[in-house]
Amino acid sequence: MELRVLRYFLAVAREENITRAAALLHLTQPTLSRQLMQLEEELGGKLFRRSQYRIVLTEDGMLLRRRAQEIVELAEKTEQEFARRGAELSGEISIGAGETRGMNFLSAQVRSFRALHPQVRFRIHSANADDIKERLENGLLDMGLLVEPVEIGRYAFLRLPQRDRWGVLVPKDSPLAQLDGVTPQDLAPWPLLMSSRYQVVTELESWFGDQWNHLEVAGTFNLMLNAVNMVENGVGIAMGFDLGNLSDQLRFVPLAPAMESGVVLAWKKDQVFSPLVNEFHLHIQSAGAQTAGTQPAGV
C-alpha cells in the first residue's frame, strides 16, 4: 500500500463521493476509481458499497479507514520530526489524557515548557486509558496521562503527586446531595452510570462488596461529559472522579469509605524520541522530582 493511495482512500471515505473527492485531490474521476479498485485488489476485499447518491464503507472499509488514519498521521508526524532536527526546538508534542486532576500538573508543565520554547505546540487527545495505550503502542502519541488501575509494566512513567477522589454526581435536589459521603448501601437503590473499563469495574465491584449484585446499572461511559448530560436528564447518577464544577445542576458526593486512584504520565520504554520530545521528558521529570521530593518512578 502506498501512502499516496491511502490518502486518496481517506478523501473518498470522508466525502462519500468519488467525483467530489477527485476534484479535491486534483485527479480525474477515472484515475481515482482505478486507484481504489487496485487497492481493493491488493487487499482482497471490498472497501465500498456504491449507491446512486453516495459511497458507503463496508466493514473492511471501516477497518482500513481507522488504520489508514493512523498510518498517515504517523507518517506526517515523522516527516515533521525530521524536518526540524538541528533547529531551534519547535514542532508538536502529542499527549493522550484521561479525565483527571493530574491534568493540572501537565498543563503547568506545558505552560513552563512553552515559556522556554514558544515555537512548540501541544496536541492533547482526550480518551480513556485503553484508547491512550493503543495509540501509544501505535506511535501516535508521545506520552499518555493515565489514571490507575492500568497496566504500565511496558512503560516508563512518572507518578504524579495528585490522586483522584471517587464519588458520584447527583442532581442537587437528590436526597444523596445532602450527604457528606455515600456508602454502597446508599447507592444500591439508584440507577448508576459507570465506566466501561474492565479494570475500573473490578475496583468498583470490590468497593461495593455484597451490594454489587443488587445494583441497577443504567449505562456505561468512557468520558464524563456525556455522563453529566445523562445525570442532568434523569437517566441515573454517575460514578467518577471529582473534576470540579462540571454542572451547576449537579453536586459531587465522595464515596464512603473513601476510594482514590493514582495518576501516571507514561511513555514507551526504549523508544527513540525526537530531540523535542526528549527535552520535554527531561522537563517533566525534573518538575515531578521537585514536586514529589524524590526521583521519578518507573524510569
In a domain, residue 282? The reply is yes
Same domain membership, residue 158 and residue 170: no
Same domain membership, residue 74 and residue 125: no
| Chain CA centroid to CA 10, Å | 22
CATH of the domain at 236: 3.40.190.10
Lowest mean pLDDT among 72-76, 159-163, 217-221, 230-234: 72-76
Q: Domain containing 281: what range?
A: 83-162+262-292
pLDDT-based confidence at residue 127 (cuts at 50, 70, 90): very high
- Residues forming beta bridges with residue 28, ordered by sequence position: none
Same domain membership, residue 177 and residue 238: yes
* 40: its cell numbers: 481493493
Same domain membership, residue 270 and residue 156: yes
pLDDT tens digits for 139-152?
A: 889 999 999 888 88
In a domain, residue 195? The reply is yes
| Inter-helix orientation angle 18-25/29-43, to 10° | 110
Same domain membership, residue 135 and residue 175: no
In a domain, residue 27? The reply is yes
What is the distance between the alpha carbons of residues 275 and 105, in angstroms, rounded to a whole number?
22
Same domain membership, residue 72 and residue 9: yes
Tell which of 65, 80, 95 closes a domain. Answer: 80
Output 218 or 3, whichever has higher pLDDT.
Answer: 218
What is the distance between the alpha carbons of residues 241 and 101, in angstroms, rounded to a whole number?
8
pLDDT tens digits for 243-286?
A: 998 999 999 999 999 999 999 999 988 777 888 898 999 999 88
**Residue 80: what pLDDT?**
66
**Residue 299: what pLDDT?**
43
Q: How many domains does the chain have?
A: 3
Are the beta carbons of 194 and 217 closer than 8 angstroms? yes
In a domain, residue 297? The reply is no
**Residue 294: what pLDDT?**
37
pLDDT tens digits for 279-299?
A: 999 999 888 766 544 334 444
Tell which of 22, 50, 80 closes a domain. Answer: 80
pLDDT tens digits for 13-57?
A: 888 888 888 888 888 989 988 998 898 889 988 998 877 678 889
In a domain, residue 274? The reply is yes
Same domain membership, residue 274 and residue 127: yes
pLDDT tens digits for 65-102?
A: 888 888 888 887 777 666 555 557 788 999 999 999 99
Same domain membership, residue 226 and residue 113: no
Same domain membership, residue 169 and residue 155: no
Same domain membership, residue 178 and residue 154: no
In a domain, residue 298? The reply is no
In a domain, residue 216? The reply is yes
Other Cβ atoms closer than 10 A to 51: 9
**Residue 72: what pLDDT?**
83
In a domain, residue 141? The reply is yes
Same domain membership, residue 175 and residue 30: no
Tell which of 27, 47, 80 closes a domain. Answer: 80
What is the distance between the alpha carbons of residues 168 and 191, in angstroms, rounded to a whole number?
12
CATH of the domain at 9: 1.10.10.10
What is the distance between the alpha carbons of residues 230 and 233, in angstroms, rounded to a whole number?
5
Same domain membership, residue 65 and residue 109: no
Are the beta carbons of 185 and 243 closer than 8 angstroms? no
